[in-house]
Amino acid sequence: MRKFFGTDGIRGLTNQVPMTAEVAMRVGMAAGAHFLRGTHKHRVVIGKDTRLSGYMLENALVAGFTSVGMDVVQVGPMPTPAIAMLTRSMRADLGVMLSASHNPYHDNGIKLFGPDGYKLSDEDEAQIEHLLAQEPKLAEPSHIGRAKRIDDARGRYIHAVKQSLPESVRLDGLRIVLDCANGAAYNSAPTVFWELGADVVAIGVEPNGTNINDKCGSTAPALLQETVVASGADIGIALDGDADRLIVVDEKGRIVDGDQIMGLIGASWARQGRLKGGGVVATVMSNLGLERFLEGEGLRLERTKVGDRHVLERMREGGFNVGGEQSGHMILSDHATTGDGTLAALQVLAELIASGKPASELLHQFDPMPQLLKNVRFAGGKPLEDKQVIAAIAEGEATLNGRGRLVIRPSGTEPLIRVMAEGDDAGQVEQVVDMICDAVRAATA
């Protein structure tokens, strides 16, 4: 059983295990020792989002890595995909991103990337877990690592993202409202769109250490919706705290989720002959409407467990180049090794310009089936093994009777049971979800 690593690195409440300075230093020692391979001078790139705790955890990681003989390059607040890109381009042995993504500021996390820019395999994480329990082997005094900050990392990332579009594509004439969630992309994303010619109205670009994801960003798009309509913008773009997610708002203020974005990019790339794998990879949470839409385009939808790492694994196995999650993780593997909200937004904007249509007409590719997701918090135990919960799930499946889907799973980052159902009948879907949620609550009371 894992003690530290979850579905996306290590995550938790700051100053409680595992998000303490002591554990962060031990992670630096363990991960550093694991990637000390060969005789070359070893290097790790460390980035972070704008959380107050980032200062503390970054310094602890630096101490850990340098103590085992690894040099550290610190790049400051940067999007998660930027760290993946910089790890590869700087020939580093390891990349680290300090972020809890869309969580509130009081949480933080440690995401690790290998030298290829991809998130670590289960095997690598297991080895690091093992080393965390061992006494670290510290470097000789003459081999202790050095730490260095570089100032041009943001420019390198901005250039790389812009390179994902042909030079002929410009955003002149587009008015974009951009919500950076007071997070990691607060500086880079507005620059990307401005340099490509857009008229940018930026919100969520004044981080203070505690306002990341606070009533802004991809998980709270109400402010973006209001601003798009009030400013007469053509489109709104919302990133999350570490900028690996994207949610779009059309000019009428309506939300466009990750399923619609995957449908748009997948179908368009297929028509251009750019799509690989014959379809798109998404998770079990993606709407059945997306699956039916892609089938109508002669494409297939491959489903995985929840989590962008599972999506990416299937993409690599099957040779796909478009994948993502309904929540907004967009992985375009021709251009990046992990989800990148800014990069995906550029693909959406390129489609908008090429079509000449308003966002409200272009971006809603299909009518989603009625889908309902509810979360039930629990204090402990294994509610999904309770007999009454098992019986309620079976009853729900019988009620849907093959005309919908039921997905029940524990969250990988919080003590929650997530209950999702979808089908042709919205009332029936709600009835099934409520019945199962009631059973879970009774089991945990």
Which residues are known to be catalytic?
101
Buried b (16+ CB within 10 A) or exposed e, 110-134: bbbbbbebbbbeeebbebbbebbee
Residues in contact with 16: Cβ distance below 8 Å, sequence separation at least 6, in sequence order: none
Measure the CA–CA gap between 418 and 377, rounded to whole angstroms: 9
The tokens for 289 are 């409407």
What residue spans of 273-307 are helical by DSSP H?
A: 288-296
Q: CB–CB of 353/398 below 8 Å?
A: no
Nearest to 198 by CA among 162, 249, 243, 227: 162
DSSP summary character for residue 164: T
At residue 332, φ and ψ (nearest 5 deg) are -115, 90
The tokens for 244 are 């690996």
Question: How many DSSP H helices and E strands does the chain contain?
Answer: 14, 19
Give the strand pairing for 300-304 and 246-250.
unpaired
Q: CB–CB of 212/183 below 8 Å?
A: yes
